[in-house]
A and B are shown apart, each in its own frame.
Chain A
């Protein structure tokens, strides 16, 4: 069975880029264009991994979604990779090692998305097939 990855990002082009890359590696990709829809899909479809954009409608919508996911019984254990270009927008410099205590995500991936790094990160948490 294919592993399913949920991409939550409001940039439809970026979603397609990620889909192209990950489907080429044998993953299944579903997507949501906003946080609310993303949470719904996460609960219904129980994806194996979530790629989450940090900044959708609101500046920290991604973080809010991550907190919600961590609160839900069905979604708590799904690994989350946060997509971020936030460092240069708000002055926040995230470092998952230093900030993991209060930031409920497993990895960060800086935009522009490098396909190799995306695949490496996803593989680290999720081998392509069972």
Chain B
């Protein structure tokens, strides 16, 4: 659990952009541990099978002892990963490197008991070089490859020179002291070793460049988004009071003196109020849009979505009647409850429903379909109105963007409704999807997650 939590913040962890992070290294280390269990058990099984059914004359006691050492070491690695949190990348790297060196030593010991160069399993060295490529950078990969190569070469030459006892595997001719076999075997081994080291290093380098680039871009995008939101917040904060006061003033003048005014000036003031209402709506929209996730915890409660949808439809009733819309609310029979910020959920569903009313055709259907999926609730709002052209689908969630069709259909609308829907859903861990056919209508589907 702890590891997964740490891994979740990985993409923008500082200082680690150019290399693996402590948490991601730990994930791999856990994977190595699982592989090591398999390797140790494999050694035991393969040796037993070779002796029992293959007629191979292996010294079982030293091999089993080595496997036992490997199992014991792996148990201690596993225990460490459980006990010690992965925080320091350098400490984690040292531990993993040490484990790899010990693995190479044990592999060499095992090979020395099982035929040395005659044993085809000596290519397991190569696997370690590939693994080093996953974890380390250029110089470290080369050093690990060099160590693997030298250990194997020393073992093979030691057997060839008679310094290390040789355990002959097959019934065929003795090869371990034939210099042609030994030298060509070692040459092939080194060629594969060096190529693998080089290839894995360059693939991983390439990989890291791409990853770094992605991290940098992601940060730039987040910074740009934050700058935009800060700007919106600043503007709405500064503009709000004058706009609100101006609207209140004109409305007060109209209320007190409107009846005595000449028609023309009175008409102008009425238009002014209408313009100011639009401005207030934009300011209100910007305020909503820039409301930080900080505030979303403040009115969290169990929201009854059935009741909310009903009351939102109710709020649009006069427009629905004027336009002759046919409303279908396909809600689950049992009330759906969702623990969330009531204001945010209300804004999300309210904006979708009022769009479906505003951009519908006269007499069109308006369908609100709700599904309780257990870990989430899905609300789909469908209209039979103007629809959205495919090329506009990507832009309707941009602030202030209104499609030409939307502008033609209604002079009202701030171009902030859908951006608010998207941002609120993202802040609540949900998402919005849209399907649309120009001239036929649209379906907006909001998924609200239960956390």
Q: Which residues of A contact B (CB under 8 A)?
A: 11, 13-14, 17-18, 20-21, 24, 85, 87-93, 111-116, 119
Contact = CB atoms under 8 A, between A and B. Distances in A.
B240 interface: yes
A122 to B, nearest CB: 13
A88 to B, nearest CB: 4
A111 B276 CA distance: 13
Contacts of A93: 299, 342-343
A85 B252 contact: no
Contacts, number: 66
Interface string B277-299: 00010001001100110111011
- Interface majority SS on A: helix, strand, loop or mixed? helix
B299 A85 contact: no
Contacts of A115: 251-252, 254-256
Interface residues of B, number: 30
B249 interface: yes
B245 A14 contact: yes
B256 A20 contact: yes
Interface of B: 237, 240-241, 243-245, 247-249, 251-256, 276, 280, 284, 287-288, 291-292, 294-296, 298-299, 341-343
Contacts of B287: 88-89
Nearest to A93: B343
Q: Which 9 A-B pairs have the closest CB atoms?
A: A91-B295, A88-B287, A115-B255, A112-B247, A113-B248, A24-B256, A112-B244, A112-B248, A17-B252
Contact of B251 (A85, A92, A114): A114
A87 B247 contact: no
Contacts of A113: 248, 251-252
A119 B256 CA distance: 11
Contacts of B237: 89
14 contacts: A17-B248, A17-B252, A18-B252, A20-B252, A21-B256, A87-B343, A88-B291, A89-B287, A92-B299, A93-B343, A111-B248, A112-B244, A115-B255, A115-B256
A88 B251 contact: no
A17 B249 contact: yes
Nearest to A114: B251
A115 B299 CA distance: 30
Given A88-B291, A93-B342, A21 B255 contact: yes
A14 B256 contact: no
A27 to B, nearest CB: 13
Contacts of B249: 13, 17
